[in-house]
């Protein structure tokens, strides 16, 4: 009786067919992204946006609401590197609204992030200034690098604008 030279039939050894199937399954698993590296993904810090600091007034008070409300500015604050949510961070918000210009002190207010790193502050409806409806937000504390954002609204009639921060330790 002659046996094929590449065929393994000894007790517990893998056949050629099983070896090919196992190799193909391992290759598919790796290519599909099911195997993750052991190190954590790095979350890059948010960079300040051009025009974000326009009409910035340092020290705006923490408030329950700016003006009469009706519009919500929302977002999250996370730490660069590991992406952990940052609780208790002060975010200043200001905009050109139906009740005032972005340079007016009464158009400025601040809020604090909750335990999930989320913030929200009600304010009057944002309206276009310089042809764009946009808001201004700032992190200006001491623990992390200062970041100024100027997100533009895709729809000027929207009643919510979201902006997210990823902060780099100072």
Q: Where are the domains of the chain?
A: 1-36, 71-167
Query: Which pLDDT does position 66 carry in this prediction?
Result: 97
pLDDT at 14 over 70: no
- Cα 119 from chain centroid (whole Å): 12
State how far the Cα of 49 lies from the Cα of 93, in Å rounded to an integer: 14
User: Residue 130's pLDDT band (boundaries 50, 70, 90)?
Assistant: confident
| Residue among 85, 83, 84, 70 at smallest CA distance from 119 | 85
Distance CA 122, CA 168 (A): 27
User: Average of pLDDT values for 113-119?
Assistant: 98
With residue 31 as reference, give the H or E element that holds it: helix 16-31
The CA-based diameter of the chain, rounded to the nearest angstrom, is: 97
Q: Which two tokens stand for residue 23?
A: 């190799």
Neighbours of 87 (CB within 10 A): 13
Which fold would CATH assign to domain 71-167? Protocatechuate 3,4-Dioxygenase, subunit A (2.60.130)
- Count of CA atoms in the C-beta half-sphere (13 A) of 73: 34
The structure tokens listed for 164 are: 């997210």
What's the pLDDT at 10? 43
DSSP secondary structure string, 145-169?
Answer: --EEE-PBPSSTT-SEEE--EEEPB
* 114 half-sphere exposure, CB direction, 13 A CA radius: 7
Q: Is the pLDDT of residue 45 over 50?
A: yes
Count of residues for the chain?
A: 170
Full-model pTM: 0.75
What per-residue confidence (pLDDT) applies to 124?
A: 98
* Per-chain mean pLDDT for the chain: 85
What are 46-90's pLDDT values in tens digits? 999 999 999 999 999 999 999 999 999 999 999 999 999 999 999
Instruction: Write down the pLDDT at residue 15.
Output: 59
Q: Rounded CA gap, 21 and 80, in Å?
A: 42
């Amino acid at each position: 009786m002659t046996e094929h030279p590449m065929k393994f039939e000894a007790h517990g050894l893998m056949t050629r067919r099983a070896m090919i199937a196992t190799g193909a399954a391992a290759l598919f698993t790796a290519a599909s992204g099911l195997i993750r590296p052991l190190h954590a993904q790095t979350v890059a810090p948010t960079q300040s946006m051009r025009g974000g600091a326009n009409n910035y007034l340092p020290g705006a008070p923490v408030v329950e609401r700016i003006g009469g409300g009706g519009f919500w500015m929302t977002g999250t604050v996370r730490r660069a590197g590991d992406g952990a949510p940052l609780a208790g961070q002060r975010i200043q918000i200001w905009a050109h609204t139906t009740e005032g210009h972005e340079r007016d002190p009464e158009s400025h207010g601040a809020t604090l992030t909750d335990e999930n790193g989320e913030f929200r502050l009600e304010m009057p409806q944002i309206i276009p200034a310089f042809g764009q409806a946009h808001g201004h937000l700032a992190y200006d504390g001491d623990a992390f690098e200062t970041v100024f954002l100027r997100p533009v609204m895709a729809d000027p009639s929207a009643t919510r604008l979201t902006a997210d921060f990823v902060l780099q330790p100072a």
